[in-house]
C-alpha cells in the first residue's frame, strides 16, 4: 500500500449549520447548537437538551432532492455527501472508481418508531414503507443511488467511532489501488430509541454539556452528517486545485473493556493514537491540535485524558471538543469532526471548548477556551472512541 491520500472536498450538516460555511461561522463565533427538543416526538422534550438540525423533514427533503417520506437519516446523509462531492469539483463520477463508505448507528429507526406508534394506536397494519429501510445499510444504499455511485458501497457501524473508521477504510482502499476516490464519513438522526437508551445509562446532561470540565455531568445527543472526499495522488493532480489536507495517519484499536465504557487506563484510546502516529511517521510533538472525542461523561473524558497524558507528556498540543457545539452525533461524529479537522489544517484554526470553567484536576493540561486563528497547524489528531472500546484516530496534515 503506497501513495498519498488527500481530502479534496468536505460537506457537513449539524445543529450549528446546514453546510460547511454555516458551521464554520458558528465555530468562529462560539455559537452552540443545543436547545430544547423541537422535532423529535418524545416525553423528554422539556427535560433533556439536544443538538437537532434546525430543519424539519420537508425542508431537509427539498435540500436533499429526495422524498420527505424516507428516513431523516438518509436526508441528512444525502445533503452532506452531495455538498462534499460538489466541493471536490470532481466531474464524471462514473468515469472513476468511486466508493461511498458511510457510517450510521440508527438506520431508519425514526420511521420504524412511527410505524409501531401508529400500529398500536390504531390497531392497523400501518405503512410498511416506513420499515423497509430500517437497517443501517439500506440508508447507505439509498444515498449511493441518489449520488449515482455504484463502484463500491458499504456501511460501517462501530458505535461512536463509525464514521472515522469509514474514512480509514476509504483511505486503505485508495492506497491499495482499489478505488480512485471515495466519499466517506457518516450520519445519524436523533431517535427515541437512542435518547431513551442513553438516558437509561444515566449519562445525559440536563444542561448543556461541559466536555473536559471537572464538573462535567454527561453528554447532549446531537444529529447530523459529515463527509470528506478522499482522492489518490493521481486524481489530486488532475483536479488542479488546492487540497484541504492529506490524511496521513489512521488506526483502529479495541480494548474490549466494557460494553459501554472505556478502560480507566484509556488503553484503546492510547493504542489508536499511538498507531496513527506510527502510520503517519510522526512523533507526539508533531501534533499541533487534538480534536478530542470529548463527550462530557466522567468515564470518556477521564479515559481519553489519561491516554493523552500517557502519550504526550510532558508537551501537550492545544485541544478541544467540538461536541460542545454539535452535541454527540454518534455515528456521524467522526465524519463531522473530520470536516472540522480538515478546515483546521487548511485555515490554521483551533476551536474552543465551550463552557469549560474548571479543568479536570487530575490532568496537567486543559482544553482551549477560545477560538484561535493564525496558528501553526501542520498536523491535527481527531479522536473517535466508541462503545465496546472501539477506538479510531485520524491524522490530517498539511498537503
CA distance 179 to 244: 19
CA distance 35 to 255: 34
Closest C-alpha among 87, 90, 149 to residue 339: 87
Residue 345 is placed in which grid cell? 489544517
Q: What are phi and psi of 183, to 5 degrees?
A: -95, 120
Residue 274 is placed in which grid cell? 499511538
Work out the number of other CB atoms within 10 angstroms of the CB of residue 242: 11
Q: Is 293 in the active site?
A: yes
Q: How many CA atoms lie within 13 A of 88 on its CB side?
A: 32
Burial of residue 176, with CB atoms counted within 10 A of its CB: 0-12 exposed, 13-18 middle, 19 or more buried: exposed
Q: Is 328 in the active site?
A: yes
Q: Is 160 in the active site?
A: yes
Strand, helix or coil for residue 230: strand
Strand, helix or coil for residue 307: helix
CA distance 235 to 4: 11
Exactly one of 136, 146, 209, 293 is catalytic; which is it?
A: 293
| DSSP tag of 209 | -
Q: Find out whether 305 and 385 touch, Cβ atoms under 8 Å.
A: no
Strand, helix or coil for residue 279: helix
CA distance 43 to 199: 12
Residue 89 is placed in which grid cell? 469539483
Q: Where are the alpha helices (DSSP H) in the chain?
A: 20-28, 57-64, 72-88, 109-122, 136-146, 162-175, 192-200, 233-239, 267-280, 298-312, 323-326, 333-347
Exactly one of 146, 209, 328, 391 is catalytic; which is it?
A: 328
CA distance 65 to 13: 15
Exactly one of 160, 209, 245, 391 is catalytic; which is it?
A: 160
Give the active site residues. Answer: 160, 293, 328
Amino acid at each position: 500500500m503506497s501513495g498519498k491520500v488527500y481530502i479534496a472536498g468536505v460537506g457537513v450538516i449539524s445543529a450549528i449549520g446546514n453546510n460547511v460555511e454555516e458551521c464554520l461561522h458558528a465555530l468562529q463565533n462560539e455559537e452552540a447548537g443545543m436547545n430544547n427538543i423541537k422535532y423529535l416526538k418524545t416525553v423528554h422534550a422539556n427535560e433533556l437538551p439536544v443538538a437537532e438540525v434546525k430543519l424539519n423533514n420537508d425542508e431537509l427533503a427539498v435540500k436533499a432532492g429526495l422524498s420527505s417520506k424516507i428516513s431523516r437519516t438518509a436526508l441528512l446523509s444525502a445533503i452532506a455527501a452531495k455538498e462534499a462531492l460538489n466541493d471536490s469539483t470532481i466531474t464524471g463520477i462514473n468515469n472513476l472508481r468511486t466508493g461511498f463508505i458511510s457510517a450510521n448507528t440508527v438506520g431508519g429507526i425514526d420511521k420504524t418508531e412511527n410505524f409501531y406508534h401508529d400500529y398500536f394506536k390504531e390497531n392497523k397494519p400501518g405503512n410498511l414503507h416506513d420499515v423497509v429501510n430500517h437497517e443501517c445499510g439500506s440508508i447507505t444504499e439509498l444515498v449511493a443511488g441518489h449520488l449515482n455511485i455504484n463502484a463500491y458501497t458499504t456501511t460501517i457501524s462501530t458505535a461512536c467511532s463509525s464514521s472515522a473508521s469509514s474514512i480509514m477504510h476509504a483511505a486503505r482502499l485508495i492506497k491499495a489501488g482499489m478505488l480512485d476516490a471515495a466519499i466517506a464519513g457518516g450520519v445519524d438522526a436523533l431517535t427515541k430509541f437512542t435518547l431513551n437508551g442513553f438516558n437509561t445509562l444515566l449519562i445525559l446532561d440536563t444542561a448543556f454539556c461541559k466536555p473536559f470540565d471537572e464538573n462535567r455531568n454527561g453528554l447532549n445527543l446531537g444529529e447530523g452528517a459529515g463527509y470528506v472526499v478522499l482522492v489518490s495522488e493521481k486524481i489530486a493532480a488532475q483536479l488542479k486545485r488546492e487540497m484541504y489536507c492529506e490524511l496521513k495517519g489512521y488506526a483502529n484499536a479495541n480494548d474490549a473493556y466494557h460494553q459501554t465504557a472505556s478502560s480507566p487506563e484509556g488503553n484503546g484510546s492510547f493504542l489508536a493514537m499511538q498507531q496513527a502516529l506510527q502510520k503517519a511517521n510522526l512523533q507526539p510533538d508533531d501534533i499541533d491540535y487534538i480534536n478530542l472525542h470529548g463527550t462530557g461523561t466522567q468515564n470518556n473524558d477521564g479515559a481519553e485524558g489519561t491516554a493523552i497524558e500517557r502519550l504526550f507528556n510532558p508537551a501537550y498540543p492545544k485541544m478541544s471538543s467540538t461536541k460542545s457545539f454539535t452535541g454527540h452525533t454518534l455515528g456521524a461524529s467522526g465524519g463531522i469532526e473530520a470536516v472540522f479537522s480538515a478546515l483546521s489544517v487548511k485555515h490554521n484554526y483551533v476551536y474552543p471548548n465551550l463552557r469549560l470553567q474548571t479543568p479536570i484536576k487530575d490532568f496537567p493540561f486543559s482544553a482551549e477556551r477560545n477560538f484561535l486563528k493564525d496558528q501553526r497547524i501542520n498536523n491535527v489528531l481527531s479522536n473517535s472512541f466508541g462503545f465496546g472500546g472501539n477506538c479510531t484516530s485520524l491524522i490530517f496534515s498539511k498537503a
